[in-house]
Amino acid sequence: MKINETVVQLETTKGSHAFLVLTKQIVLIDTGMPGLAGKILTELQSLGISAREIQAILLTHHDVDHIGNAKQLQEATGAELWAPAEDVPYITGEKKRPGVKHWIEMLVRPQKPTITHLYGTDWPYRDISVLHAPGHTPGHTVFQIRDVVFTGDLFKFVLGRFRTFPALMNWDQEQAMESLASLRRLQFEWLCPSHGSPVRNGPKLQEFLAHAAKH
C-alpha cells in the first residue's frame, strides 16, 4: 500500500506492518513476524528495489512481530541494523521479555540479529527524525519522515476505530499513554501504526490523542 511518494506499507507483513521508505536513503522500518523474509525480499524486488539497495533497517522496539525477520534481512541486504539501546538486551536474548511476551517469544522464537547501531549515536539520516516514545517497551521509538509518523505500537487503527494496547502488553502503561499523547506536538499528515491502517490527521485523531493526554 502506497502512503505517498516516499512511503510504502508492505503487503507481505499485514499482521504487523513493515514500511519501505524511499528518500535520500532506502530504509525498512520493522521486519514483521518471523518467516516472512523471503516474501519481503520478493515484494521489494517487485517494487524495483534490490536487497543491496536497503541501507538501514530501523526497529521500533523488541517485540517478536517487529524483529521477526531482522537477522535474515540484515544478512540478505548488508544493511545497518538500528535499535533502541533499552530494548537491545531483549532483542539479543540477554534478557527475557516480561509477562505474556515471554511466552510469545517461547512459541515464536525469532532468530537473534546483531544490532550494529543504537539510536542517539552518530545518527546519519538527517531526513528521518528519531523520537523516544517509551511505555510499550522501555525503548519504544517512533520515526518522522517529512509528513509521515511511524508510531510502532503506540496504538492500533482497525476498522475505523482507534485502540490502545492493554496494560498487560505494555511495559509501563502510564508512560505508554504519555508517549501517545506526545504525538499532538508533531506536525504531520499521516500516522502509520504497526497494526491496522494508516490514518490521516484530522479531528477524530486529535480527539483520540487528547483523550490519551487525560490519562
Is 2 a domain residue? no
pLDDT in tens, 166-212: 998 899 999 999 999 999 999 999 999 999 999 999 999 999 999 88
Total number of domains in the chain:
1
Residues of the chain with pLDDT under 70: 99-107, 215
Rounded to two decimals, the pTM is 0.94
Q: Which amino acid is at 171?
A: W
Residue 215, helix vs strand vs coil: coil
Residues with Cβ within 8 Å of 131's Cβ and at least 6 positions away in sequence, in order, are: 141, 142, 143, 144, 182, 186
Q: Residue 1 domain-assigned?
A: no
Q: What pLDDT score was predicted for residue 100?
A: 66
Residues 56, 125 contacting (CB under 8 angstroms): yes
Evaluate whether residue 109 is within a structural domain: yes
CA distance 101 to 115: 21
Q: Residue 33's domain spans which residues?
A: 7-213
Tell me the CATH number at 137.
3.60.15.10
